[in-house]
Amino acid sequence: MEKFVVTPWEVRGEIDYNYLVEKFGTEKIDGALLDRIKRHTGELHHFLRRGIFFSHRDMNWILDEYERGNKFFLYTGRAPSGPIHLGHLIPWIFTKWLQEKFDVELWFHFPDEEKFLFKEELTLEDTRRYTYDNMLDVIALGFDPKKTHFLIDTVHAGLMYREACKVAKRITFSTARAVFGFTGETNIGAIFYTAMQAVPAFLPSVLRGQNIPCLIPYGIDQDAHFRVARDVLPKLGFYKPAGIHCIFLPGLGGISEQGKMSSSETETTVLTTDDPEVVKTKIIKYAFSGGQPTVEEHRKKGGNPDIDVSYQWLTFFEEDDAKLRRIREDYKSGKLLTGELKGMLVDKLNLFLREHQRRREAARDRVDDFVFKV
């Protein structure tokens, strides 16, 4: 019995990321790879410095090709089923950084049928509404509209379904069942869906009439889809897509309580549209503390940053290494109290969200610049 679950539909338990590297057959990001990336980017994103992006497949091949002038394109996505929370932003913030540093195209996939097919209660009207809403958050992160193309499955199916059929022909039900755990009760749309998720990994190659390397930054829970895509694409004459994988921003309830935040549990989540007072209340009320029960005890024994959610969140949102180290030391020594730590996180998040919300509103007029024109 595994103590945690990581699938495209469920993330739960205290996740052993090293074990996932072994189980999924990926590679850990090591110092040599970080140095190689740094030669191109000048600096390393704090998600790389801190192991938030921890695993990859074929990153060295991507850089080999890049160094001989064969640029890759980026592919990431979002299956709309609700509002965007801070956890969703992690791979996209990093994708934005990669786009900027390597000056490459991004294909951003909105499979608006996926959650409809996997969740009984969702309608296609719901997922379409969330698609538009979620696009605002993506645009707000600052992607270059000239180099960024949104693909929406029900909108771009005229382009994508044909390609998905080529993928689907190469995946037997036995394979899909083994990888995704389908049963007789699974609907035939859900069974087909993974073929649609494979399409953005080679569609640019189809459209340009040349084989272009693809790099997919994603939360490790999506790995099943891309393992299948890596198996099939070479049979269709395309490169295996490379991947770079991040851990999950833990839910407010604590690292051991749950793996990944869910928008449907508002108490464990900070939404990108939460106002400053809501953010403050959520952090103060729900963020699991690694501190001691009383101020006296805390001053004496100190707190445990490794289980403290506020500290963990700062590893995602505080870019300054020196500042973060000081916080860690002060918290461990007992100099910094839980309330003070929470206050720092609240300030950091509200600063980020104020700007994000401003850009998110401005994005309403810019959606058309991003949706791919056939």
The site for a second copy (CB under 8 A) is made up of 113, 116-117, 124, 153-162, 164-174, 176-177, 182-192, 194-195
Minimum CB separation of residue 77 from a second copy in Å reads 17
For a second copy, the closer of residues 18 and 187 by Cβ is 187
For a second copy, the closer of residues 174 and 210 by Cβ is 174
Minimum CB separation of residue 3 from a second copy in Å reads 30
Structure tokens at 298: 């805390």
Minimum CB separation of residue 302 from a second copy in Å reads 53
Structure tokens at 328: 């860690």
What does 24-68 look like in DSSP terms, one character per residue?
HT-EE--HHHHHHHHHHHSS--HHHHTTSEEEEESHHHHHHHHHT
**How does 229-238 read in b/e, with b if 16+ C-beta sit within 10 Å?**
bbebbeeeeb
For a second copy, the closer of residues 167 and 215 by Cβ is 167
For a second copy, the closer of residues 180 and 288 by Cβ is 180
Minimum CB separation of residue 63 from a second copy in Å reads 34
State the distance between the two ends of the chain, measured CA to CA, in whole angstroms: 48
Place of tokens 């390609």: 163
| Paired strand residues for 122 | none
Q: Which residue, among 134, 117, 121, 6, has the nearest Cα to 77 in the 3D structure?
A: 134
Minimum CB separation of residue 165 from a second copy in Å reads 5
For a second copy, the closer of residues 18 and 123 by Cβ is 123
| Paired strand residues for 371 | 150
Structure tokens at 192: 């087909």
Place of tokens 């900027």: 100
Minimum CB separation of residue 227 from a second copy in Å reads 15
For a second copy, the closer of residues 5 and 124 by Cβ is 124
